[in-house]
Structure 1
């Protein structure tokens, strides 16, 4: 596989728009490890090797353990995640795999109860943002390090 194009060079305005979302997320109140958890899980679902590698590295740099990073793909069966993280991972799965059911009321309500409206909005935007980056990377075949 080889990279198809460098979208940032071909269409700098599109890249700038994506960076704008990333800059918004950098200002959010969400914990950095929760952000990286969302990014890794979304990238796993979408099959984005570039983003999985990038965000696993960032998670490690910010104190995440190898054991938890490995367990993200099987979070439902793992005892390593808190109730709050499980709620966010469920929302991440449902919003990324949107499908016919969309986001279930019970999932939405649980995250809302745990985090409140402002943080729920930030969680939703984090999921949307990484889904955008995954599509950016997958469609252009961005390559991660060997």
Structure 2
């Protein structure tokens, strides 16, 4: 785990409601199609998690499947715009080779954060996954798991 200062960003996103990790493909297809039509397909993918899995029923958990876009980007239809706040984050960067690893890496980050008495979770900002690269042929995602801290 590292502590990093991350910059704020604007995200175009498609919201998915349901268990984390499920039904993201249709949202990604909608987002990438929209991005290609609007010339912003080079944005960085970020998945924002809005609900705590320990207190929210899985079927009500919300994920914003997004990509960074310039401020002022016009969205519409299924694609919305949000501001992702910057600030201090506890991060864990891993090469994910199987979807089952996402939950384990989130648990690892949460445990490592709990062991550091000088940091605490900042519930005012969302957790997210930042995708540095995706190799679809080898099914490898270079991913940072980001938890806001204060």
* Structure showing the higher helix proportion among its residues: 1
TM-score band, normalised by shorter chain: under 0.3
Give the TM-score normalised by the residue count of structure 2: 0.23
Give the TM-score normalised by the residue count of structure 1: 0.23
